[in-house]
């Protein structure tokens, strides 16, 4: 089941295909700010496809079986499940950028 607009879904899917991690592993690396798992480039890619507030609302209000959702919708649902994840991702990027300068 696809809820996200097809062009957006296609772009997100292409970006996510570059990762060899599960969505929960990506979230775990963001939460723990693990630079052994995610590089600055990877964090920037995740930021570029992070769900908007509208997309989070769209997938969060879905009441069917989550396993039936498309890949992008499952990714958005995983991202939406962690409060403050957008802020954590921004902080992680800052940390990675700062460590490259230092």
Using pLDDT thresholds of 50, 70 and 90, give the confidence band for residue 3: very high
**Residue 82 zone, left/alpha/beta (φ > 0; ψ -120 to 50; rest):** beta
Average pLDDT rounded to a whole number, residues 65-77:
95
Q: Kindly compute the dihedral angle of the four CA atoms of residues 10, 7, 24, 1, in this order, to the nearest 10 degrees.
A: -90
DSSP sequence for 63-75? -S-GGGS-HHHHH
Using pLDDT thresholds of 50, 70 and 90, give the confidence band for residue 102: low
**Is position 83 within any domain?**
yes
Average pLDDT rounded to a whole number, residues 73-99:
94
CATH number at residue 40: 1.20.58
CB 88 within 8 A of CB 33: yes
**Is position 87 within any domain?**
yes
**Is position 1 within any domain?**
no
pLDDT for 100 beyond 90: no
**pTM for the whole structure:** 0.88
**Is position 80 within any domain?**
yes
**Is position 77 within any domain?**
yes
Return the percentage of the chain with pLDDT > 70, whole number. 99
CB 11 within 8 A of CB 69: no
Using pLDDT thresholds of 50, 70 and 90, give the confidence band for residue 99: confident
Range of the domain at 27: 6-101
How many structural domains compose the chain? 1
């Amino acid at each position: 089941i696809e809820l996200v607009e097809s062009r957006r879904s296609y772009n997100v899917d292409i970006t996510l295909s570059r990762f060899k991690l599960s969505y929960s592993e990506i979230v775990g690396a963001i939460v723990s700010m693990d630079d052994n798992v995610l590089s600055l480039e990877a964090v920037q890619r995740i930021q570029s496809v992070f769900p908007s507030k509208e997309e989070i609302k769209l997938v969060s209000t879905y009441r069917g079986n989550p396993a039936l959702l498309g890949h992008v919708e499952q990714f958005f649902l995983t991202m939406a499940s962690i409060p403050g994840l957008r802020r954590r991702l921004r902080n992680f990027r800052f940390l990675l950028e700062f460590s490259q300068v230092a």
